[in-house]
Structure 1
Amino acid sequence: MLDEVLFADDGLYDACELPAEVMPILRENFRRIQLPDYPMWASTDDSPIRWYSAPDAILRLDGIQNRAWLHARARTPAGLEAIRRLLPGRWVG
């Protein structure tokens, strides 16, 4: 269910390969959702899947290695831009 919300095609989603040095910023600014670690179906290299939230955002981190994929959804375009500024990386959107 969370994946459908996260990947909806409405301009409020983006993704980047998160550099390892930025991961502490993610943990400091977003609350980990109390779901168990999930394996990534496509690759064990991208495991575990962990979910994070903020009042106007939901994020999914695929793996804990350097350049793990971070998927982000915000409630507004300004909220998504705030995530991009807070977590520097090569955002695809």
Structure 2
Amino acid sequence: MLVESEHLNAPPSADTERADIVRAVIEEIRPNLQRDGGDCQLLEINGNKIMVRLTGACVFCKLASATLEGIQARMVERLGEFVRVIPVAGGAKAQPLKIGH
């Protein structure tokens, strides 16, 4: 059963495990995006919100929303809980990943 969860009292090891799963999902989809000149960067994990930045060809692609929905569906499947993938606009400069509650 999928449950929306903010993980307010999750132990640090659970946060690390969740972050590893999220990173793995992003890394799985990146080659497909890169093949078409795009990319996806993980910016922040804050509870059930996962902020990503689409770059390159993905920025102006008409199918970007479908791409984000697919990423979200795969994360929900792998994590076993509801998460929201939120696109963040901005330059392609990578920033440190933040993991919050």
The verdict on a shared fold, with TM-score over 0.5 as the criterion, is: no
Specify the structure having the higher radius of gyration (Cα): 2
TM-score (norm 1): 0.34
TM-score (norm 2): 0.33
Higher strand share: 1
